[in-house]
Amino acid sequence: MDMHTDGFARLLREWRHKRRWSQLDLALTSGVSQRHISFLESTRASPSRAMILQLSEALEVPLRERNLWLTAAGFAPLYRTRTLDDPQMAQIMGAVRMMLSAHEPFPALALDRAWNVLLANRPFEALTAMLGADLWDRVNGTDSAGERNLMRLFFHPQGIRPLITNWAAVGPLLWQRATREAHELGGADMQAVLDELAPFQEPEVLWSAMDSALLPVVPFKLALGEQRLALFAVIATFGTAQDVTTDELRFETLFPADAATEALFRQLPLPQ
């Protein structure tokens, strides 16, 4: 048995199962016959490069994982991973900064697929400053100096959980969203963060969202001394990414959920 063919077959089966699709479902969506898909999964047939791209597109496999499919089948990776300061990322990063700036006076940030903060606007920086100057130092693990990770912000013992007054509703939804993304996007880096934080969590809280069934969105409510804030998030991505870094960018734009929170942010002094 060819190791390349076997590796690709395993990945194809895994991602089809992630999507909860039968071979017939994949055949109808991809335009590839069910018989050929069966042959690929049983290693009776070897995939061409075009076939790998066709099936991975149908299954909405992230670009980083499509590179794994290609190398598993003996082909070179197709999609590049660029640093944020790469000259070819200049136009993308300009658009990101424009989006973050345009959302002021409300917080907005750009994240990678492990929920690390890559860029943030001034209201977000002002909000985190209100939560404590040593906030990120408190929640960072020993191997993550300098990182700003939203999962650690919410779920680390030294994070902001005690300040969230509706944690029973917010905590489970955030944890389930991160778990789903780690599974559906092949996020080993997010899974590592989840594994790190899991020992600190209470299962009965994480897996039972409360008081949220009748709401279109669930805001997280913060108590900062005498101040009360209520915010909800809208998430956006690039729809036509052809680069791993761009494909993994997530935008979190936070909106006020009540008039008092809106007034606070409109009056909040912003860092220069």
Query: Do residues 135 and 153 touch, judged by C-beta distance below 8 A?
Result: yes
Q: How far is CA 199 from CA 97, 157, 206, in A?
A: 36, 10, 12
Supply the pTM of this predicted model: 0.85
**What are the DSSP E strand ranges found in the chain?**
108-111, 117-120, 220-224, 227-236, 250-256
| pLDDT score for 1 | 43
Domains assigned to the chain: 3-72 (1.10.260.40), 87-267 (3.30.450.180)
Q: Which two tokens mark 97?
A: 């900064």
Q: What is the pLDDT of residues 84-138, one digit of tens each?
A: 999 999 999 999 999 999 999 999 999 998 999 999 999 999 999 888 888 888 8
Query: Do residues 232 and 253 touch, judged by C-beta distance below 8 A?
Result: no
Alpha-carbon gap, residue 82 to 46, rounded angstroms: 30
Alpha-carbon gap, residue 197 to 115, rounded angstroms: 14
Q: Is the pLDDT of residue 199 over 60?
A: yes
Q: Which two tokens mark 266?
A: 């409109």
Q: What is the pLDDT of residues 139-190, one digit of tens each?
A: 886 555 568 999 999 999 999 999 999 998 888 888 988 888 888 777 788 8
Alpha-carbon gap, residue 125 to 130, rounded angstroms: 9
Q: How far is CA 66 from CA 12, 29, 58, 233, in A?
A: 10, 17, 12, 29
| pLDDT score for 143 | 58
Q: What is the mean pLDDT of the chain?
A: 89
Q: What is the pLDDT of residues 216-269, one digit of tens each?
A: 677 899 998 888 999 999 998 888 888 999 999 999 999 999 999 999 999 988
Alpha-carbon gap, residue 230 to 92, rounded angstroms: 31
Angle between the 49-58 and 23-30 helix axes, to the nearest 10 degrees? Answer: 100
Q: What is the pLDDT of residues 41-96, one digit of tens each?
A: 999 999 999 999 999 999 999 999 999 999 999 999 999 999 999 999 999 999 99
CA-derived radius of gyration, the chain? 21
| pLDDT score for 159 | 92
| pLDDT score for 213 | 52
| pLDDT score for 271 | 77
